[in-house]
Structure 1
Amino acid sequence: MIEQEAVNILRTGGVLVYPTETLFAIGADAMDERAANRVALIKGRPVSKPLPLIIGSIDQLDLVTESVSPELLKLTKKFWPGPLSILVKAREELPSAVKDSRGYTSVRWTDHPRAAELCLKAHAPLIATSANMSGKPGTGIAAELDAELTIMVEGVYTPDPGPKGGNPSTVVEPLADNKIKIFRDGVVTREQLTNAGFVIVD
Protein backbone atom coordinates (compact mmCIF):
# COMPACT_ATOMS: atom_id res chain seq x y z
CA MET A 1 0.00 0.00 0.00
CA ILE A 2 1.31 3.44 -0.92
CA GLU A 3 0.97 6.49 1.33
CA GLN A 4 -1.79 8.16 -0.71
CA GLU A 5 -3.98 5.05 -0.39
CA ALA A 6 -3.49 5.14 3.38
CA VAL A 7 -4.37 8.85 3.50
CA ASN A 8 -7.50 8.26 1.39
CA ILE A 9 -8.67 5.57 3.83
CA LEU A 10 -8.30 8.01 6.72
CA ARG A 11 -9.99 10.88 4.88
CA THR A 12 -13.01 8.73 4.01
CA GLY A 13 -13.66 7.47 7.54
CA GLY A 14 -11.82 4.18 7.22
CA VAL A 15 -9.74 2.30 9.78
CA LEU A 16 -6.03 1.74 9.13
CA VAL A 17 -3.18 -0.24 10.67
CA TYR A 18 0.04 1.80 10.46
CA PRO A 19 3.48 2.10 12.15
CA THR A 20 4.38 4.45 15.01
CA GLU A 21 7.70 4.97 16.80
CA THR A 22 6.82 2.27 19.34
CA LEU A 23 4.40 -0.34 17.94
CA PHE A 24 2.00 -0.82 15.04
CA ALA A 25 -1.22 1.09 15.67
CA ILE A 26 -4.81 0.73 14.59
CA GLY A 27 -6.40 4.09 14.01
CA ALA A 28 -8.61 6.50 12.16
CA ASP A 29 -9.39 10.21 11.94
CA ALA A 30 -9.84 11.18 15.60
CA MET A 31 -12.42 13.83 14.66
CA ASP A 32 -14.73 11.20 13.10
CA GLU A 33 -17.05 9.72 15.73
CA ARG A 34 -18.17 6.77 13.62
CA ALA A 35 -14.59 5.83 12.75
CA ALA A 36 -13.50 6.17 16.40
CA ASN A 37 -16.31 3.87 17.52
CA ARG A 38 -15.29 1.32 14.87
CA VAL A 39 -11.70 1.27 16.14
CA ALA A 40 -12.94 0.54 19.67
CA LEU A 41 -15.30 -2.16 18.36
CA ILE A 42 -12.68 -3.87 16.18
CA LYS A 43 -10.14 -3.90 19.00
CA GLY A 44 -12.71 -4.99 21.58
CA ARG A 45 -11.62 -2.13 23.80
CA PRO A 46 -13.89 -1.32 26.77
CA VAL A 47 -15.60 2.08 26.82
CA SER A 48 -13.80 2.84 30.10
CA LYS A 49 -10.46 2.91 28.23
CA PRO A 50 -10.39 5.94 25.90
CA LEU A 51 -8.46 5.69 22.65
CA PRO A 52 -5.13 7.61 22.56
CA LEU A 53 -4.18 10.07 19.82
CA ILE A 54 -1.14 11.17 17.85
CA ILE A 55 -0.47 14.42 16.00
CA GLY A 56 2.01 15.23 13.24
CA SER A 57 3.11 18.69 14.37
CA ILE A 58 2.87 20.93 17.43
CA ASP A 59 0.31 23.05 15.53
CA GLN A 60 -2.09 20.09 15.48
CA LEU A 61 -2.28 20.19 19.29
CA ASP A 62 -4.87 22.96 18.77
CA LEU A 63 -7.15 20.36 17.16
CA VAL A 64 -7.08 18.31 20.37
CA THR A 65 -7.18 20.83 23.22
CA GLU A 66 -7.78 24.49 23.99
CA SER A 67 -6.19 24.21 27.46
CA VAL A 68 -2.42 24.73 27.26
CA SER A 69 -0.79 25.10 30.69
CA PRO A 70 2.85 26.11 31.32
CA GLU A 71 3.54 22.53 32.46
CA LEU A 72 2.08 21.13 29.24
CA LEU A 73 4.22 23.48 27.16
CA LYS A 74 7.33 22.52 29.12
CA LEU A 75 6.66 18.80 28.57
CA THR A 76 6.15 19.32 24.84
CA LYS A 77 9.37 21.33 24.51
CA LYS A 78 11.40 18.71 26.39
CA PHE A 79 9.97 15.49 24.98
CA TRP A 80 8.11 16.10 21.71
CA PRO A 81 8.21 14.78 19.11
CA GLY A 82 8.56 11.40 20.78
CA PRO A 83 6.95 8.66 22.85
CA LEU A 84 5.50 10.77 25.67
CA SER A 85 1.69 10.77 25.69
CA ILE A 86 0.19 13.66 27.64
CA LEU A 87 -3.30 13.81 29.13
CA VAL A 88 -5.02 17.05 28.12
CA LYS A 89 -8.53 18.47 28.37
CA ALA A 90 -10.11 17.43 25.06
CA ARG A 91 -12.05 19.73 22.79
CA GLU A 92 -15.79 19.17 23.17
CA GLU A 93 -16.19 18.17 19.53
CA LEU A 94 -13.87 15.16 19.85
CA PRO A 95 -15.69 11.79 19.99
CA SER A 96 -16.51 10.26 23.36
CA ALA A 97 -14.43 7.17 22.43
CA VAL A 98 -11.22 9.21 22.82
CA LYS A 99 -12.17 10.90 26.13
CA ASP A 100 -12.23 9.69 29.72
CA SER A 101 -14.95 10.47 32.26
CA ARG A 102 -13.31 13.85 32.99
CA GLY A 103 -13.22 14.79 29.32
CA TYR A 104 -9.46 14.23 28.97
CA THR A 105 -7.63 12.55 26.12
CA SER A 106 -4.07 11.27 25.66
CA VAL A 107 -1.99 12.77 22.84
CA ARG A 108 1.59 12.72 21.61
CA TRP A 109 3.43 14.28 18.69
CA THR A 110 4.80 11.16 17.05
CA ASP A 111 8.38 11.17 15.85
CA HIS A 112 7.72 8.36 13.38
CA PRO A 113 8.04 10.09 9.98
CA ARG A 114 5.34 8.06 8.20
CA ALA A 115 2.82 8.34 11.05
CA ALA A 116 3.40 12.10 11.34
CA GLU A 117 2.93 12.46 7.58
CA LEU A 118 -0.40 10.61 7.78
CA CYS A 119 -1.63 13.08 10.43
CA LEU A 120 -0.56 16.06 8.33
CA LYS A 121 -2.00 14.77 5.06
CA ALA A 122 -5.26 13.68 6.72
CA HIS A 123 -5.44 17.16 8.34
CA ALA A 124 -6.38 15.54 11.64
CA PRO A 125 -5.08 13.91 14.79
CA LEU A 126 -5.19 10.13 14.46
CA ILE A 127 -6.28 7.46 16.89
CA ALA A 128 -3.20 5.40 17.73
CA THR A 129 -4.01 2.41 19.89
CA SER A 130 -1.77 -0.66 19.59
CA ALA A 131 -2.80 -2.96 16.72
CA ASN A 132 -3.88 -5.97 18.75
CA MET A 133 -7.10 -7.34 20.15
CA SER A 134 -7.76 -5.96 23.63
CA GLY A 135 -5.82 -7.91 26.26
CA LYS A 136 -3.24 -9.27 23.79
CA PRO A 137 0.28 -7.85 23.33
CA GLY A 138 1.10 -5.30 20.65
CA THR A 139 3.85 -5.80 18.08
CA GLY A 140 6.41 -3.83 16.11
CA ILE A 141 6.75 -6.59 13.47
CA ALA A 142 4.39 -6.57 10.47
CA ALA A 143 4.43 -10.36 10.12
CA GLU A 144 3.14 -10.69 13.69
CA LEU A 145 0.03 -8.54 13.18
CA ASP A 146 -3.12 -10.40 14.23
CA ALA A 147 -5.04 -11.58 11.14
CA GLU A 148 -8.24 -11.52 13.20
CA LEU A 149 -7.76 -7.75 13.47
CA THR A 150 -6.30 -6.90 10.05
CA ILE A 151 -9.19 -8.56 8.19
CA MET A 152 -11.58 -6.02 9.77
CA VAL A 153 -9.78 -2.83 8.66
CA GLU A 154 -9.70 -1.00 5.33
CA GLY A 155 -5.92 -1.12 5.00
CA VAL A 156 -2.60 -2.23 6.47
CA TYR A 157 0.20 0.28 5.81
CA THR A 158 3.69 -1.11 6.52
CA PRO A 159 6.28 1.30 5.08
CA ASP A 160 9.87 1.66 6.27
CA PRO A 161 10.91 2.46 8.88
CA GLY A 162 8.96 0.01 10.99
CA PRO A 163 8.26 0.55 14.69
CA LYS A 164 11.13 0.13 17.15
CA GLY A 165 9.05 -2.32 19.20
CA GLY A 166 9.53 -2.83 22.92
CA ASN A 167 7.83 -0.54 25.40
CA PRO A 168 4.80 1.64 24.63
CA SER A 169 4.75 5.41 25.11
CA THR A 170 4.86 6.82 28.62
CA VAL A 171 1.57 8.44 29.69
CA VAL A 172 1.60 11.45 32.04
CA GLU A 173 -0.72 14.20 33.23
CA PRO A 174 0.78 17.64 33.89
CA LEU A 175 -0.27 19.23 37.19
CA ALA A 176 0.55 22.63 38.70
CA ASP A 177 4.04 23.66 39.89
CA ASN A 178 5.98 21.31 37.56
CA LYS A 179 4.30 18.24 39.07
CA ILE A 180 3.22 15.32 36.92
CA LYS A 181 1.33 12.09 37.48
CA ILE A 182 2.40 8.96 35.60
CA PHE A 183 -0.43 6.77 34.33
CA ARG A 184 1.77 4.32 32.40
CA ASP A 185 5.50 3.74 32.45
CA GLY A 186 7.04 3.41 29.00
CA VAL A 187 9.86 4.56 26.73
CA VAL A 188 10.38 7.91 28.48
CA THR A 189 11.71 6.99 31.92
CA ARG A 190 10.96 8.48 35.34
CA GLU A 191 14.61 9.51 35.52
CA GLN A 192 14.33 11.45 32.27
CA LEU A 193 11.22 13.21 33.57
CA THR A 194 12.81 14.17 36.90
CA ASN A 195 16.03 15.24 35.15
CA ALA A 196 13.89 17.59 33.05
CA GLY A 197 12.71 19.31 36.24
CA PHE A 198 9.39 17.56 36.89
CA VAL A 199 8.25 16.23 40.26
CA ILE A 200 6.43 12.89 40.05
CA VAL A 201 3.45 12.56 42.40
CA ASP A 202 1.26 9.56 43.20
Structure 2
Amino acid sequence: MHNLLKTLEAGELIIYPTETLYGLGCDATKEKACALVADIKGRAGSKPLPLIIGSMEMLNLVSNEISSSLLNLAKNFWPGPLSILVKAAPELPSLLSDEDGYTSVRWSGHPFAAELSRRLKKPLVSTSANFSGKPPVALPEDLDPELIDKVGAIYLDPPWPKGDKPSTVVRLIGSSQVEVLRQGAVTVTKLCEKGFTVSVK
Protein backbone atom coordinates (compact mmCIF):
# COMPACT_ATOMS: atom_id res chain seq x y z
CA MET A 1 0.00 0.00 0.00
CA HIS A 2 2.73 2.47 1.00
CA ASN A 3 4.60 1.98 -2.27
CA LEU A 4 1.47 2.57 -4.34
CA LEU A 5 0.57 5.70 -2.39
CA LYS A 6 4.06 7.14 -2.94
CA THR A 7 3.79 6.31 -6.64
CA LEU A 8 0.43 8.06 -6.91
CA GLU A 9 1.64 11.10 -4.99
CA ALA A 10 4.59 11.36 -7.39
CA GLY A 11 2.20 11.58 -10.35
CA GLU A 12 3.04 8.13 -11.68
CA LEU A 13 0.69 5.37 -12.80
CA ILE A 14 -0.31 2.13 -11.09
CA ILE A 15 -2.04 -1.14 -11.95
CA TYR A 16 -4.40 -2.36 -9.24
CA PRO A 17 -7.38 -4.68 -8.77
CA THR A 18 -10.99 -3.51 -8.70
CA GLU A 19 -14.10 -5.59 -8.04
CA THR A 20 -14.51 -6.23 -11.78
CA LEU A 21 -11.16 -6.00 -13.60
CA TYR A 22 -7.59 -4.82 -13.14
CA GLY A 23 -7.40 -1.06 -13.41
CA LEU A 24 -4.81 1.30 -14.83
CA GLY A 25 -4.92 4.47 -12.80
CA CYS A 26 -3.45 7.50 -11.14
CA ASP A 27 -4.32 10.32 -8.77
CA ALA A 28 -7.31 11.77 -10.61
CA THR A 29 -6.46 15.32 -9.53
CA LYS A 30 -3.13 15.31 -11.40
CA GLU A 31 -3.66 16.45 -14.98
CA LYS A 32 -0.33 15.20 -16.36
CA ALA A 33 -0.89 11.76 -14.83
CA CYS A 34 -4.38 11.56 -16.36
CA ALA A 35 -2.94 12.52 -19.76
CA LEU A 36 -0.30 9.81 -19.38
CA VAL A 37 -2.98 7.19 -18.69
CA ALA A 38 -4.84 8.14 -21.87
CA ASP A 39 -1.62 8.25 -23.90
CA ILE A 40 -0.24 4.90 -22.71
CA LYS A 41 -3.56 3.13 -23.10
CA GLY A 42 -4.13 4.63 -26.54
CA ARG A 43 -7.48 5.96 -25.41
CA ALA A 44 -9.17 8.72 -27.39
CA GLY A 45 -9.05 12.06 -25.59
CA SER A 46 -12.76 12.50 -26.27
CA LYS A 47 -13.50 9.42 -24.12
CA PRO A 48 -13.49 10.50 -20.45
CA LEU A 49 -11.47 8.52 -17.93
CA PRO A 50 -13.67 6.84 -15.28
CA LEU A 51 -13.14 7.31 -11.55
CA ILE A 52 -13.42 5.33 -8.34
CA ILE A 53 -13.69 6.55 -4.77
CA GLY A 54 -13.40 4.82 -1.42
CA SER A 55 -16.46 6.09 0.45
CA MET A 56 -19.75 7.90 -0.06
CA GLU A 57 -18.26 11.03 1.53
CA MET A 58 -15.60 11.17 -1.20
CA LEU A 59 -18.28 11.86 -3.80
CA ASN A 60 -17.86 15.52 -2.83
CA LEU A 61 -14.35 15.39 -4.33
CA VAL A 62 -15.79 14.47 -7.73
CA SER A 63 -18.93 16.60 -8.00
CA ASN A 64 -20.42 19.74 -6.48
CA GLU A 65 -23.92 18.75 -7.62
CA ILE A 66 -25.09 15.91 -5.40
CA SER A 67 -28.86 15.51 -5.40
CA SER A 68 -31.01 13.33 -3.18
CA SER A 69 -31.79 11.22 -6.27
CA LEU A 70 -28.09 10.63 -6.88
CA LEU A 71 -27.54 9.65 -3.26
CA ASN A 72 -30.52 7.30 -3.36
CA LEU A 73 -29.16 5.54 -6.45
CA ALA A 74 -25.66 5.34 -5.02
CA LYS A 75 -26.79 4.01 -1.65
CA ASN A 76 -28.66 1.20 -3.38
CA PHE A 77 -25.62 -0.07 -5.28
CA TRP A 78 -22.43 1.23 -3.66
CA PRO A 79 -19.92 -0.04 -2.91
CA GLY A 80 -20.13 -2.00 -6.11
CA PRO A 81 -19.86 -2.04 -9.91
CA LEU A 82 -22.32 0.74 -10.79
CA SER A 83 -20.67 3.78 -12.36
CA ILE A 84 -22.87 6.87 -12.26
CA LEU A 85 -22.51 9.95 -14.46
CA VAL A 86 -22.16 13.09 -12.36
CA LYS A 87 -21.32 16.70 -13.14
CA ALA A 88 -17.56 16.89 -12.64
CA ALA A 89 -16.15 19.39 -10.17
CA PRO A 90 -14.56 22.23 -12.20
CA GLU A 91 -11.13 21.76 -10.62
CA LEU A 92 -10.78 18.21 -11.95
CA PRO A 93 -8.67 17.61 -15.10
CA SER A 94 -10.58 17.99 -18.36
CA LEU A 95 -9.71 14.43 -19.46
CA LEU A 96 -12.11 13.13 -16.82
CA SER A 97 -15.25 14.67 -18.28
CA ASP A 98 -17.19 14.71 -21.55
CA GLU A 99 -18.12 17.76 -23.60
CA ASP A 100 -21.08 18.39 -21.29
CA GLY A 101 -18.89 18.26 -18.18
CA TYR A 102 -19.90 14.83 -16.90
CA THR A 103 -17.65 12.12 -15.49
CA SER A 104 -18.44 8.61 -14.25
CA VAL A 105 -17.69 7.49 -10.71
CA ARG A 106 -18.30 4.54 -8.43
CA TRP A 107 -17.37 3.58 -4.88
CA SER A 108 -15.35 0.48 -5.63
CA GLY A 109 -16.44 -2.75 -3.98
CA HIS A 110 -12.85 -4.01 -3.96
CA PRO A 111 -11.37 -3.59 -0.46
CA PHE A 112 -7.87 -2.67 -1.65
CA ALA A 113 -9.00 -0.20 -4.32
CA ALA A 114 -11.37 1.54 -1.90
CA GLU A 115 -8.75 1.70 0.85
CA LEU A 116 -6.15 3.08 -1.58
CA SER A 117 -8.49 5.92 -2.54
CA ARG A 118 -9.33 6.63 1.11
CA ARG A 119 -5.69 6.76 2.15
CA LEU A 120 -4.74 8.98 -0.78
CA LYS A 121 -7.81 11.11 0.04
CA LYS A 122 -8.36 11.53 -3.70
CA PRO A 123 -10.43 9.87 -6.42
CA LEU A 124 -8.52 7.42 -8.61
CA VAL A 125 -8.61 7.03 -12.36
CA SER A 126 -9.79 3.49 -13.05
CA THR A 127 -9.70 2.50 -16.69
CA SER A 128 -9.15 -1.16 -17.54
CA ALA A 129 -5.49 -2.25 -17.50
CA ASN A 130 -5.07 -3.08 -21.17
CA PHE A 131 -4.10 -1.30 -24.36
CA SER A 132 -7.10 -0.06 -26.32
CA GLY A 133 -8.39 -2.83 -28.56
CA LYS A 134 -7.03 -5.57 -26.31
CA PRO A 135 -9.23 -7.54 -23.89
CA PRO A 136 -9.54 -6.41 -20.26
CA VAL A 137 -7.80 -8.50 -17.61
CA ALA A 138 -8.92 -10.10 -14.34
CA LEU A 139 -5.94 -12.37 -13.55
CA PRO A 140 -2.38 -11.20 -12.74
CA GLU A 141 -0.82 -13.58 -15.27
CA ASP A 142 -2.87 -12.05 -18.09
CA LEU A 143 -1.54 -8.51 -17.62
CA ASP A 144 0.48 -7.28 -20.60
CA PRO A 145 4.20 -7.11 -19.67
CA GLU A 146 4.58 -4.07 -21.93
CA LEU A 147 1.89 -2.24 -19.95
CA ILE A 148 3.46 -3.29 -16.63
CA ASP A 149 6.75 -1.72 -17.77
CA LYS A 150 5.03 1.64 -18.18
CA VAL A 151 3.71 2.02 -14.62
CA GLY A 152 5.44 2.92 -11.38
CA ALA A 153 3.84 0.26 -9.16
CA ILE A 154 1.54 -2.73 -9.36
CA TYR A 155 -0.54 -4.66 -6.80
CA LEU A 156 -1.02 -8.34 -7.57
CA ASP A 157 -2.12 -9.85 -4.26
CA PRO A 158 -5.64 -11.26 -3.82
CA PRO A 159 -8.52 -10.72 -3.74
CA TRP A 160 -8.32 -10.62 -7.51
CA PRO A 161 -11.01 -9.06 -9.69
CA LYS A 162 -14.10 -11.15 -10.31
CA GLY A 163 -13.74 -10.76 -14.06
CA ASP A 164 -16.57 -11.27 -16.52
CA LYS A 165 -18.30 -7.91 -16.99
CA PRO A 166 -17.10 -4.34 -16.32
CA SER A 167 -19.12 -1.91 -14.23
CA THR A 168 -22.52 -0.84 -15.50
CA VAL A 169 -22.62 2.84 -16.47
CA VAL A 170 -25.82 4.81 -15.89
CA ARG A 171 -27.15 8.34 -16.01
CA LEU A 172 -29.97 9.67 -13.86
CA ILE A 173 -32.72 11.19 -16.01
CA GLY A 174 -35.30 11.62 -13.26
CA SER A 175 -35.76 11.07 -9.54
CA SER A 176 -36.07 7.31 -10.03
CA GLN A 177 -35.29 6.94 -13.73
CA VAL A 178 -31.95 5.80 -15.08
CA GLU A 179 -30.56 5.38 -18.57
CA VAL A 180 -28.06 2.55 -18.98
CA LEU A 181 -25.15 3.72 -21.13
CA ARG A 182 -23.13 0.51 -20.77
CA GLN A 183 -24.52 -2.80 -19.59
CA GLY A 184 -22.26 -4.62 -17.17
CA ALA A 185 -22.10 -6.29 -13.78
CA VAL A 186 -25.26 -4.61 -12.43
CA THR A 187 -28.12 -5.88 -14.58
CA VAL A 188 -31.23 -4.03 -15.72
CA THR A 189 -33.19 -6.50 -13.60
CA LYS A 190 -31.27 -5.48 -10.45
CA LEU A 191 -31.94 -1.81 -11.17
CA CYS A 192 -35.63 -2.51 -11.61
CA GLU A 193 -35.76 -4.57 -8.42
CA LYS A 194 -34.60 -1.50 -6.52
CA GLY A 195 -37.52 0.50 -7.87
CA PHE A 196 -35.83 2.35 -10.73
CA THR A 197 -37.40 2.85 -14.14
CA VAL A 198 -34.77 1.84 -16.69
CA SER A 199 -34.10 2.67 -20.31
CA VAL A 200 -31.15 1.35 -22.31
CA LYS A 201 -29.27 3.57 -24.72
- Under TM normalisation by the shorter chain, which class is it? over 0.9
SS across alignment from 2:8? helix
What's the C-alpha RMSD, in Å, of the aligned pairs?
A: 0.9
SS across alignment from 1:100? coil
Do residues 145 (structure 1) and 143 (structure 2) align?
yes
Which amino acid is 1:189 matched to?
T
Do residues 72 (structure 1) and 98 (structure 2) align?
no
- Unaligned segments of structure 2, at least 5 residues: none
Contact 1:114 1:159 in 2 (8 A): no
- 1:20 corresponds in structure 2 to 18
- 1:33 corresponds in structure 2 to 31
- 2:118 corresponds in structure 1 to 120
TM-score, length basis structure 2: 0.97
Task: Return the offset for 1:73.
Answer: 1.0
Which amino acid is 2:21 matched to?
L
- 2:158 corresponds in structure 1 to 160
Do residues 50 (structure 1) and 48 (structure 2) align?
yes
What CA distance in whole angstroms lies between the structure 1 residues aligned with 2:5 and 2:157? 13
Q: Select between 187-196 and 149-158 the one with higher mean Cα deviation.
A: 149-158
SS across alignment from 1:114? helix
Which amino acid is 2:86 matched to?
V
SS across alignment from 2:171? strand
What CA distance in whole angstroms lies between the structure 1 residues aligned with 2:126 and 2:138? 13
Structure 1, residues 70-127: CA drift from partner, whole Å, max 9, x if none? 2211111100000000000000011111111100000000010100111011110000
Which amino acid is 2:130 matched to?
N
Structure 1, residues 8-60: CA drift from partner, whole Å, max 9, x if none? 10111110000000000000000110100000011000011110000001111
- Unaligned segments of structure 1, at least 5 residues: none
